[in-house]
Amino acid sequence: MAKHPFLPQSLRRIVRVRPRLQRAIWALEAGLIAAIWMLLGALPVNVASRLGRRLLRVAGPRLRKSEHVRRNLEVAFPELSAAQRHALAREIWGHLGAVLAELPHLRSIAAAIEHHVEFDSRVHAVMEPGRPIVFVTAHVGSWDLAPLAAKEFGVPLTVIFTPESNPFLDRFIQRFREPLGCTLLDRNQSLRTLMRELAAGRAVGIVADHRVDDGEPIPFFGVPTPTTLVPAKLALRYDCELVPLRVERLRDAQFRVSISEPIRPEDPSASPREQARQMTRDLNARFEQWIRARPEQWACTARRWPKPPKKSKLAAAAARQR
């Protein structure tokens, strides 16, 4: 979540340079959100999911992050009209509302997994304890539930997560995630631990569709996009499979976990870097397929592509004169 999403930009600048005020606002924000989660947690999970969807379909487009959603949809779906993208953005916010509303229900979902989650046949074939493997997913569907697949089949899993900027809110979310049965690893302290896990024959999980500003320019929806090569490099280094795993929402709190064909190097004689680039291109293409199939389940509230360069005042004036 962005820092202080409920404050106007002018107030955010003031808060950032006053640590005590920032901490107080963080505590207030976390308290308000925790109260909402408490109410949602008291409801049946399907009711909470529907309510969260309705609330954020209304509130989401009013948040500052809606600008990121608009821009991402313009790049990914230029063929849609502005009205169609606006309607799709509302559905994206609604789906994210369902995801957030289900956080306090993760324990009950995990305890009654057979009533909430179905697994395709490939999951049964791939999930094998003692086998090093790199699972990758994207912010599509209910990605937060992906570790439940490993837990269900007894596969030890270490997952990278991005901590929330609000430390109070981050603690709430980490408590909610405890029933997922995986080891959660801060992405800022992750690489060496991931290497140790794979070397020991354990599985790791990475949400691999973040924008990484110092990453490689890999095509995503036809646009060169800064992308991490880490998942592919890990799979190559430890001679294990790079496996895309998707959690699709079917309805309310009902989900399907599916595993795609592993991403493999096309030319084993190429350099490790070129192999990693090719594998990451294929992975981005797989994510595109998921998004095109269910665009309303794409949580694209973060800026995915670099900002377009700003025109200088002289260039803007020249353009107006043409």
Q: Nearest to residue 137, comparing CAs of 148, 125, 124, 129? A: 148
Contacts of 247 by beta carbon, 8 Å cutoff, 6+ apart: 137, 141, 142, 143, 144, 145, 146, 149, 255, 256, 257
Contact call for residues 286 and 260 (beta carbons, < 8 A): yes
pLDDT per residue, tens digit, the chain (322 aa), is 555 555 555 566 666 656 777 788 888 889 999 999 999 999 999 999 999 999 999 999 999 899 999 999 999 999 999 999 999 999 999 999 999 999 999 999 999 999 999 999 889 889 988 889 999 999 999 999 999 999 999 999 999 988 888 899 999 999 999 999 999 998 877 788 899 999 999 999 999 998 888 899 999 999 999 999 999 999 999 999 999 999 999 999 999 999 999 999 999 999 999 999 999 999 999 999 999 999 999 999 999 987 765 544 444 444 454 4
| pTM of the entire predicted model | 0.88
The tokens for 254 are 């009902």
